[in-house]
Chains A and B, each alone.
Chain A
Amino acid sequence: MFLQQLINGIALGSTYALIALGYTMVYGIIALINFAHGEIFMVGAFVGLLMVGVFKLNIFLAMACAMIFCMVLGVVIEFIAYRPLRKSSRLSALISAIGVSTFLSSLALMVFGANAKGFPDQAFHSRQIHIGDADISTLQVLIIGVSAFLMIGLEFIVQKTKIGKAMRATSEDYSTAALMGVNVNFVISFTFALGSALAAAGGVLVGMLFNAVSFNMGLMAGLKAFAAAVLGGIGSIPGAMLGGLLLGVTEVFGVAIGYSSYRDAIAFAILVLVLLVRPTGLLGRKILKKV
């Protein structure tokens, strides 16, 4: 029972972590809470669904298509809605992000209608594996595997490549990085592309996990992923992974011990409690303010 719930929690948590990474990377670089991120996740799920349902693509190819589509979408959104506001107050950019979010979700409502849509059965043949007394579906294994693969890939890009170094430099100090010859505009676009691709992959995975894709799935998933990012310490990439897993696991255990009607509150209760003890999240750096 314990093992079963743990696996359920990790599968759910790794999708939160995938979305949370996008929040945390964007925040780390331009200190913007990208409220449209949840909608990018939703768009990713719909693109994946279209690819599987209409073009009969393999699920991995569909996920790749969704990731590429959302990369472009993320970059375009940054260019239209955030770039002109980079020097304005952070709240203006926040409202702009909320505007984008409203726009995307109502667009999805118009195009795809209000009903939740499921992935076709032949998309992925899920089987049950028995480990001890736990029933684990191959779908969960797929979700955990794909998330782990993407996170390792992200860690490689951020730590080992030249653009990753530029990203770290920009998040350390925006103007100094620019003075050192880093093309910050490109770095910001790249960060949005990377984050949006992860969200799209998360969208396809969540769509399969719950077998439901709907126009309003981005809101709660986005809020919870944001909570996960803050829980881990916003701006910290390992923090987002840890926060996502932690929220997923606690949520599943909370439901398992009989608080299913409080499902959506569990994540936030954990968040509030952790922040009261550690005001900058689990792995967040202490904010030192100079006078």
Chain B
Amino acid sequence: MLHGFVSSIDPYFLQILVNIGIGITLALGLNIITGLTGQLSLGHAAFMSVGAFTGALLTLKTGSPFYLTLLLSGLFTAAVAALIGWPILRLTGDYLAICTLGFAEIVKVVFLNLEITNKALGLTVPTPQTALPMPIIVLIVAILMIIASTFIQNSRFGRALKAIRDDEIAAESMGISIARYKVQAFAVSAFMAGVGGCLYAHFLGYINPSDFGFLKSVDMLSMIVLGGLGSIPGAVFGASVLSAAPEVLRFMSQYRMLVYGALMVFLMVFRPNGLLGGINVTDLVLRKLGIKPRGALRGQEGKH
């Protein structure tokens, strides 16, 4: 029945929806390390790439069931992130940023030269045979990621990450093991990127190492900064807008990227904290529904 419902939707529209779902997964992943922990990563496309190729190879070589593939690609990506995160997360600020960028370029070039990733030809991935249609799986994953992100943000773990973002020295003197939390956040973040990559590979049906270059990392970063850094609704909103924008702007054909670039500049100039920066969306929605938000009073007191 679901298959029938999905195939009744306009395929072009469906494609945009799936792009948005994958974009949300990726943006929420990056949000954990950059938004929540304050460590700028300019190489997140590498994790997407690792996840995509792991997923594709699992499907092609072992034919493992799709849900297992999805989970394994996420876990493998997280393991890779933990491995490289251990040495490089000691770097701070822009030195870390360029190191992640360098790592991403290295991953891209290595994948372009490996036999198993089919070098520069890329891999063709068959559509997985699942009970649920792919778009529905993407939707479910995106929702799961939103829930998981919310839990992480409000947990002890998330509070530790926010403490590291706001002041490393203060956090350390409060007994937070900075190195350990940073690596954990990096791994969780990479897990989401890996899952996003795996979905991307299976939905698109074809992946090439060159797809996961610097511009892909920049796309993800733009999503979370445009939406409002460190905010989950912001990441979701930013991912939706930026995943849909190239399609919506398609009518301008060749001027599309020109307008896209100019829009990014003007959005930043007029809303430097992102579109939803500084807006508490949950409170806003609750107020509209006529419910007094929990902790709203406390928030106001804090301002004075």
Is A137 at the interface (CB under 8 A from chain B)? no
Expressed in whole angstroms, the minimum distance between the Cβ of A175 and any Cβ of chain B is 20
How many residues on the B side are at the interface (Cβ–Cβ under 8 A)? 48
Taking CB atoms, residues of chain B closer than 8 Å to A223 are: 101, 105, 214
Residue of B nearest to A224 (CB): B105
Pick from A50-58, A206-214, A268-276 the stretch touching chain B. A268-276
Known A-B contacts A85-B269, A103-B262, A276-B87; A227 and B102 likewise in contact (beta carbons under 8 Å): yes
Residue of B nearest to A289 (CB): B169
The answer to whether A88 and B272 touch across the interface, beta carbons within 8 angstroms, is yes
How many residues on the A side are at the interface (Cβ–Cβ under 8 A)? 49
Taking CB atoms, residues of chain B closer than 8 Å to A268 are: 101-103, 105-106
Binary B-proximity of A100-112 (CB < 8 A = 1, otherwise 0): 1111111101100
Among B92, B99, B264, contact of A99 (Cβ-Cβ < 8 Å): B264
Pick from A65-73, A89-97, A154-162, A166-174 the stretch touching chain B. A89-97
Taking CB atoms, residues of chain A closer than 8 Å to B169 are: 289, 291
Taking CB atoms, residues of chain B closer than 8 Å to A92 are: 225, 268, 272-274
The answer to whether A101 and B258 touch across the interface, beta carbons within 8 angstroms, is no
Q: Which of B210-248 contact A (CB under 8 A)?
A: 214-215, 218, 221-222, 225-226, 229
Is B118 at the interface (CB under 8 A from chain A)? no
Report the bound CA distance from A267 to B255 in whole Å: 34
The answer to whether A265 and B109 touch across the interface, beta carbons within 8 angstroms, is yes
Is B183 at the interface (CB under 8 A from chain A)? no
Is B177 at the interface (CB under 8 A from chain A)? no
Is B279 at the interface (CB under 8 A from chain A)? no
Binary B-proximity of A202-230 (CB < 8 A = 1, otherwise 0): 00000000000000000100010011001
The answer to whether B261 and A101 touch across the interface, beta carbons within 8 angstroms, is yes
Q: Which of B89-120 contact A (CB under 8 A)?
A: 90-95, 97-99, 101-103, 105-106, 108-110, 112-113
Expressed in whole angstroms, the minimum distance between the Cβ of A201 and any Cβ of chain B is 24
The answer to whether B264 and A85 touch across the interface, beta carbons within 8 angstroms, is no
Report the bound CA distance from A91 to B264 in whole Å: 13
Expressed in whole angstroms, the minimum distance between the Cβ of A266 and any Cβ of chain B is 9
The answer to whether B258 and A107 touch across the interface, beta carbons within 8 angstroms, is yes
Taking CB atoms, residues of chain B closer than 8 Å to A102 are: 257, 260-261, 264
Among B222, B256, B269, contact of A81 (Cβ-Cβ < 8 Å): B269
Expressed in whole angstroms, the minimum distance between the Cβ of A102 and any Cβ of chain B is 3
The answer to whether A272 and B103 touch across the interface, beta carbons within 8 angstroms, is yes
Is B254 at the interface (CB under 8 A from chain A)? yes
The answer to whether A269 and B90 touch across the interface, beta carbons within 8 angstroms, is no
The answer to whether B268 and A93 touch across the interface, beta carbons within 8 angstroms, is yes
- Using CB atoms and an 8 Å cutoff, list the residues of chain B in contact with chain A: 34, 40, 87-88, 90-95, 97-99, 101-103, 105-106, 108-110, 112-113, 169, 214-215, 218, 221-222, 225-226, 229, 254-258, 260-265, 268-269, 272-274
A-B contact pairs, 22 of them (CB 8 A): A33-B97, A81-B269, A85-B269, A88-B273, A96-B269, A98-B222, A98-B264, A99-B265, A101-B261, A110-B255, A219-B215, A227-B102, A234-B94, A261-B112, A261-B113, A264-B105, A264-B109, A265-B109, A275-B88, A275-B95, A276-B88, A289-B169
The 7 closest A-B pairs by CB, nearest first: A99-B264, A103-B261, A102-B261, A88-B272, A268-B102, A106-B257, A265-B109
8 further contact pairs, Cβ within 8 A, besides A99-B262, A110-B254? A33-B97, A81-B265, A91-B225, A102-B261, A264-B109, A265-B110, A289-B169, A291-B169
